[in-house]
Each structure stands twice: as C-alpha cells, then as structure tokens.
Amino acid sequence: MHHEEATSTRRPRCLVTGATGYIGGRLVPELLADGYRVRCLARSPGKLRDHPWADRTEVVRGDVTDAAAVAQAMRDVDVAYYLVHALGTGKEFEDTDRRAARIFGERAEAAGVRRIVYLGGLTPTGVPERDLSPHLRSRAEVARILLASGVPTAVLRAAVVIGSGSASFEMLRYLTERLPVMVTPSWVRTRIQPIAVRDVLRLLAGCAGLPATVNRAFDIGGPDVLTYRDMMVRYARVAGLPRRLILPVPVLTPGLSSLWVGLVTPVPASIARPLTESLRHEVVCHENDIARYVPDAPGHPLGFEQAVRLALRRVREAEVATRWSSAAVPGAPSDPLPTDPGWAGGSLYTDHRETAVDAPVRELWRVIEGVGGENGWYSLPLAWSLRGLLDRLAGGVGLRRGRRDAERLRVGDSLDFWRVEEIQPGRLLRLRAEMRLPGLAWLELCAEPDGAGRSRYRQRALFHPHGLLGHAYWRGVCPFHAVVFGAMARNIARAAAQRAAAPVR
C-alpha cells in the first residue's frame, strides 16, 4: 500500500520535536484538538508527564542529533515539526543546529514524511547572511537545509513572540517592570514586527494541511510594527505601570548589552546574548503570503497590546499562584506551562516553612481552617494588628472583617484582609491578600500525613511584585518574615499537637 493510500485510512500523525520547549508544549494540544495523532521526541520524557495532554500522545526518548532516535520517531509520521534550536548550549550552537537539521531532513525523507514545518527567525532583507547575528544566521541556515531536504517544507519566520514563557517576551517584561528609568542600548530604536503566540500556533497547526507543492519560507507577524522602545512603553501601559523614561545611548555594544540585560533580568546570559545581538537588525515582514493557505481567523492576527494583555492575564486574574503549583493546568496558549523555565512568568518571591507535627492530619487541618478572626494568626498579635492598621490607613480593609464562621471556611469567604481562593479539605487552604500592596500576594497552608499518626505542616507565602516598588517592598519586609511566619508555623504545629493530646470529653 502506498503511503498516500495509508494516510487516507487513518488520522494523520504529527511528530513534534521540542515538546518540552516554549512553542512545542503549546502546539501539541492545538494539534490534538485538530484531530491529529501526536508523537513527541524528547530528551527527557519525564518533563512531559505534568501536561494535561501527556496520556494522549506517544513519546520517543531521544535528541535531534541522534540519528537512530530521529529515525524511530519518524516512523508512520505525516507531518514533522522542527521546533528546536541549540541556542543557550554554548559557542558551538551553530554547528549543533546544522548537524541536527541535516539529520532531521534526511530521516524525514527516508521515512516518507510528506511535510516538514519549521519555526525560524525573521531576517532583514538586504543584509548578507554573513553579517547577521549568529542566532539569526543559524536560523536561516537551518531553514535552507530543511527546504533542500527533498521533503516539502514550510518555514515560518517570526520576530519577537509575545507570550508568557517566550525568552524575548520575558526580557521585555523584566526590563520594563524593573527599570522605571533606563539608559538603554541603541537597539531600542530597532523596528520589530512582533506576533502573539496564539497566532504563531494557529499558523503552525494550519501548515499541516498545506499542499505538497508548497516548499518555501513565509514571513509571519502581527499588525503592529514597533521599535523596542515602543514595546516597552506599551507594555508599561498595559501592565498599569508608570510611564518609563528610556534614554538610548550608542556606547553599549551587543556584548555589553547582554551583560546589562543579565544584571536586570533572570534570563540566562547564554540566551540573552544572542537575542540582544539579533536586536540590531530590523525585522519586519515583507509579505503575508501564508494567509492564502491559512486564512486569518476572526480577530486575528492579534495586536501587540492585546497579546500582552493575554500574556499577563493570569496575573490580572490573581491566579498566578497556580503557575508555581503542581496542580497548574494551563487553559490557553498564553498561560504558563509546567515545563517553562523558572525565570518565565515574571518574578515570584516565596517564603517557605515546614515542620513535623505530633498530631494526625485531621487535628492539624482543624487548626489551619480556624485561622484568623477571633482565633488570630498564631504569631505576634501586635505585628498583625499593626499591619492591619497600616492597611486601613492606606485605604484597605485591615483586620476588621474577621471571618464568617469560627470553624469552617468556604471558597470566596473574606478572612480579615485575605480572601479564601482555594480549599482542598483536609489538605490545602490558599488565601489571596486583599490588603493594599504593590503586587499580588498569597498564603498557602498545607497539611500532609507523615506516618505513624503524625503529620507535616507546610506554609508558603508568595508575592508577585508590581514594578520596582513591589520588589523594594518585598526586600523591605523580608527581615520580618523570619519572625512572623516562622512563629506562625511553629505555633500552628504546637496548637495541633495540643489538640491531639487533649483528653476526649
């Protein structure tokens, strides 16, 4: 039976490389929703297990530089997505990218794959390839190798992708949020055509159905052409930050720029440097031919500010705590994923305490569910009263609201200057702060069994700062946390033990 005949009797299968990465992890559910079977090639398959779609995919362990693993992954594949690059792996990343692309193209042709789809970088016109930054030069070379592989290939060339987790977007986020006044490199004047991650995924998924005659590159971008400075100003506006003062200077070379970015942001230097080097090039789309094959959906492509608004949505909805929770289940391409790097998603400060409790979980839970109101917060009542007074002076609610019921809580209850955001009975109480703060804050209280009738108490305070004032606030209150939160953890554990030891009446 010919390959064409075989594919007509079954659902097409897509191979996704880079499923643990930013784009790949978001593309998989899009393909599944479109009815494709999906196989993932991953060096560390264990990283995929927390994705809600993990049990609906096949996984092959391997690396794109491992020809045998790539050949195994290509079996019975119709469309192969090449979404990996060696950026951040060292100075030899161009050689690694070149070798991997050749293996991928050769194995795809040998397996009878009918389509390769590659997400590359938007390159400036009129600039010789040798004069491009190493990052863009490598992306262009990979595209050339795949287009010459003998397998019809669609290369989507994008500039800055706007979405939580994108390295380019995270650089923009941290620079804008942490620096109200910036002395910046001259590349802030470079014109860029950013694109929302939702549009990237829509186009990538649509390319699976391209005619076999299509073997070319397509420029993809959003409707806005902006300088990097424009993007920082507009990001600040969407995020509700004061207007940023940006002063470009010509003396910062790409190398110095990457050091500057490294000081301000947690994005690794091995990623930040090639990205900042690329920013010296103007990257603007010169055609929109992809729309002939994958028509724009209503309301798409998304504008820059709408894309940023979606990227910040979890913060806006005060759900950011789930980004760092094992229970996090992303609901949209703009939302964080379990496999996103630790520096993605914005800053989150934490104060974590845990202690063994000489009491069963049920007694510990009774103490946890009884916090606040007349029962107090189990540490330094004067300090809590002072914090409540300061909140009232700032126009907040203070501690005067108390609690609805002395023993039981439910989601949505007010609890002094907190709001009950989540309850998992007998296990987890999550409170969201409603006090006046330069950011968003949560307090998590957890009870876990610890064997032999004992339990373990875990307590976590989380703070997502808003602008430079938010960072300053956290650093200012940090010295008090050891006293207040430390005493709280000890006293809750002691109260649970005392309840367990009290005689039954």
Residues 6+ apart with CB under 8 A from 499: 359, 363, 366, 367
What pLDDT does 76 receive? 95
Please compute the mean of the pLDDT values over residues 347-369 and round it to a whole number: 91
pLDDT exceeds 80 at position 159? yes
Question: Higher confidence at residue 126 or residue 478?
Answer: 478
Confidence label for 185 from pLDDT (cuts 50, 70 and 90): confident
Q: Mean pLDDT throughout 50-65?
A: 90
- pLDDT for 1 equals 36
Radius of gyration of the chain (CA): 26
Buried b (16+ CB within 10 A) or exposed e, 350-369: ebebeeebbbbbebbbbbbb
pLDDT at 19 over 70: yes
pLDDT value for 465:
84
Is the predicted pLDDT of residue 325 greater than 90, yes or no? no
Question: Which residue, among 230, 276, 281, has the nearest Cα to 257 in the 3D structure?
Answer: 276
Task: Identify whether the C-beta of residue 18 lies closer than 8 Å to the C-beta of residue 165.
Answer: no
If one compares 109 and 393, the residue with the highest pLDDT of the two is 109
pLDDT band at 385 (very low <50, low <70, confident <90, very high): confident
DSSP state of 55: G
- pLDDT score, position 246: 80
Region of poorest pLDDT, from 143-147, 391-395, 406-410: 391-395
- Note the pLDDT of residue 320: 41
Q: For residues 124 and 274, what is the distance between their CA atoms, to the nearest angstrom?
A: 16
Supply the mean pLDDT for the chain.
83
Percent of the chain whose predicted confidence (pLDDT) is above 70: 82
212, burial (CB in 10 Å: exposed 0-12, middle 13-18, buried 19+) = exposed
User: What integer is the mean pLDDT of 9-21?
Assistant: 87
pLDDT of amino acid 369: 93
pLDDT band at 319 (very low <50, low <70, confident <90, very high): very low
**Please, what are the domains in the chain?**
3-319 (3.40.50.720), 349-500 (3.30.530.20)
Answer with the residue of higher pLDDT: 193 or 252.
Answer: 193
Beta bridge partners of 161: 195
What separation in angstroms does the CA of 407 have from each of 369, 373, 374, 384, 403? 7, 10, 11, 20, 9
Per-residue confidence band for 399, with pLDDT thresholds at 50, 70 and 90: low
DSSP letters, 197-211, are: HHHHHHHHHHGGG--
pLDDT at 496 over 50: yes
Give the range among 382-391, 421-430, 447-456, 480-489 with minimum mean pLDDT. Answer: 382-391
Q: What percent of the chain has pLDDT above 90?
A: 44
Quick check: 466 and 438 in contact, CB under 8 A? Answer: yes
pLDDT at residue 323, as a whole number: 42
